[in-house]
Structure 1
Amino acid sequence: MKKIFLAALMLLTLSAQAFADVRIGTWNLEHLSVRPNKDIPSIAKVAQHVDFLAVQEVMSEEGLLALKNALEQVTHEKWSMLASDASGRSSYKEMYGFVWRDSAVTYLDGATTYIDRRDLFAREPFSARFKSTADKSAFVAATVHIVYGKSTKDRSKEITALGDYWDWLGQTYTKKPAILLMGDFNTKPTSPAWADIRTRASPLVTDGASTLSVKDGKFANLYDNIIVANDSPIKVKSTQIFNYPAFLGMTHEKARKTVSDHAPIFMQAQFTNTLAVGKN
């Protein structure tokens, strides 16, 4: 009887590992760097709710490292990070970053800044391939910060160009990759500019707003999102705009000054139906 019980327990444990969910997030952290008025410990208290976070508006690698260290302090777990080179058309430049919990996600390969031969993006997207530690399934994380520009026309050009970028991601990594394109798109998901990419992929969040209004409890625009293929092998369990000022007990004024004028997008997903890790 004891042997049967142990065998059943082992089976349940293996099953739980095989179908473990991964919590993914994306967050524009508004000029993330090490400076006195940037409340990185509070950022970590929010970011600990996910296993993997794509970050936009990283101003220095030291800022991303400070976030990684703060996450390790608040979770008492090991985290890793990956930063892109700085990009931008003028003296103003930004970096992209990924931070992840080592117990849930492992970096594989392919960290790449998109080669934008037609100069369509002010800040070229950044991507890399990872795997779920539990079931060894691979996924591609890509992130972008679409230019705000002088008018919606500037934004629309880059949103339209995402169609070509999406195709490039599929051709570059695997034959059937599980792709997550995350970021600050500075464009609502209802905009006609999404028409091209929507034939292959769609934003997960279609209701609500993710930018903080100056009024407490109010949000202005749905600019942040996670895009997955229309026939994605990723099983999305849930998505949410995380109301971090309410969670931290902050006014919007303080949140905008010390954390970010954007709220993060969090999702819970299962990668068990994606391709197992192997050579491209």
Structure 2
Amino acid sequence: MIFRLFCLLAALSLTYANGTDDSTLFISAFNIQVFGKSKVSKDYVVEKLVQIIKRYDMTVVQEIRDIDEVAFPQLVDAVNAASDIKYSSFMSPRSGRTSSKEQYGYIYNPEKLQVLSQFEFPDDREDIFEREPYIVKFADLRNNAAQSQFNTIVLHAKPDDAVSEVSALADAYDYAVAATGETNAIIMGDLNADCSYITSSEWSQVKLCTESRFSWMIPNSADTTVSSTDCAYDRIVTAGDITPFVIDAAVFDFETEYRMTNSEAKEVSDHFPVEFYVSLT
């Protein structure tokens, strides 16, 4: 009951932090609305995206829609040109049931993080997901603590199927544990986990919420949207021994932080990033 109340109603302190240091990992998940060649061609948008991504040791970008797969590498190049850190990057395969396919893109600091394995959740038999979750096992290169290896499981949920897709993330977690031998996990992304897509009466159907092994770090009271809506679509959920080390989860309101107009912010995305620290030292 306590967990369920936390999952549905808890209000965490959304503290906005800047920068990172060697004692922590600073990670974000960011749905950059319809990210492709058109968006990366806009200098102002790229400038703000670079400013945002440079804050983090790792950013997972969702909603990459670019059949030629050139926009994301161009963004990474722009980040590296503006940063002392030379970020590494990779993309998931393109996925989706229609011609409008998407990819997940990862930008990370290779001095702090090492990719150990990566793969797509196999969803061929039941076809629950519009865009299959992508699983990446990382090692934190800064220490040898038990929590220094962890899986990230990223999803951009289909809005109309959010209840079933978010619930099935519990199965994706179990698959990741079996495949990697790692129980520590950070599940994140635009889960469309609020408002009309997962209503208050539907949370009891969501295994990722009802099972106590999962902890939700972004509460229902948060607003992760740039528009006038007030919805906590973007989430961070943890499992395993890493949970106590995931701290200060927050929504990064770049509109306010960078003193942008709402129209300017919407040019960047209709979502704010969600961010958190992993403090393992």
- TM-score, normalised to structure 1, is 0.80
> How does 1:71-220 map onto structure 2 within 5 Å?
71-108=79-116, 110-116=117-123, 117-136=125-144, 137-149=148-160, 154-174=161-181, 176-188=182-194, 192=203, 195-198=206-209, 199=211, 200-206=213-219, 207-214=221-228, 220=230
Is 1:263 aligned to 2:276, yes or no? no
Secondary structure at the counterpart of residue 37 of structure 2: coil
Mapped contact 2:151–2:184 kept (Cα < 8 A): yes
1:252 positional shift: 1.6
**Structure 2 contact 191–234 (Cα < 8 Å) conserved:** yes
Counterpart contact for 1:166–1:197, Cα < 8 Å: no
CA–CA distance in structure 2, aligned partners of residues 239 and 118 of structure 1: 33
Unpaired runs of 5+ residues, structure 1, are 1-15, 273-280
Partner of 1:67: 75
Q: Residue 203 of structure 1: CA displacement?
A: 1.9
- Residue by residue over 1:35-90, the C-alpha shift from the partner in whole angstroms, topping out at 9 and shown as x without a partner, is 23471221110111110111110123322212211221222221011101111111
**Partners in 2 of 1:94 and 1:269 — Cα distance?**
28
**Counterpart Cα distance in 2 of 1:230 and 1:138:** 11
Q: 1:142 to 1:224 in 2, by over 3 A?
A: same
Q: Percent identity?
A: 25
In structure 2, C-alpha distance between the alignment counterparts of 1:49 and 1:98, rounded to whole Å: 14
Q: Distance in 1 between matches of 2:257 and 2:243?
A: 32
Aligned position for 2:259? 249
Instruction: Count residues with an aligned counterpart.
Output: 244
Determine the structure 1 residue equivalent to 2:34: 31
Cα offset for 1:171? 1.3
Compute the RMSD of aligned alpha carbons: 2.1
Higher Cα radius of gyration? 1
**CA distance 1:93–1:134, change in 2 (3 Å):** same
Using the alignment, how far apart are the partners of 1:260 and 1:21 within structure 2? 27
Which whole-Å CA distance do the structure 2 matches of 1:248 and 1:62 have between them?
Answer: 27
Task: Using the TM superposition, name which of 244-253 and 193-202 deviates more.
Answer: 193-202
SS of residue matched to 1:75:
coil
Work out the CA distance in 1 between the residues paired with 2:29 and 2:151.
Answer: 14
Q: Distance in 1 between matches of 2:48 and 2:186?
A: 26
Where does residue 11 of structure 1 map in the other structure?
Answer: none
Q: Per-residue displacement from partner, 1:148-193 (whole Å, max 9, x unpaired)?
A: 13xxxx221112211211211111112x432111100011286515
| Contact 1:159 1:185 (8 Å CA) reproduced | yes
Query: In the alignment, is the contact (CA less than 8 A) between 1:178 and 1:234 conserved in 2?
Result: no
Alpha-carbon distance in structure 2 between the residues aligned to 1:90 and 1:126: 18
Instruction: State whether residues 125 and 144 of structure 1, in contact with CA within 8 Å, keep that contact through their aligned partners in structure 2.
Output: yes
SS at match of 2:186: strand
d(CA) in 1 for partners of 2:192, 2:35:
18
Aligned in 2, Cα 1:62/1:193: closer, same or farther, shift over 3 Å?
Answer: farther
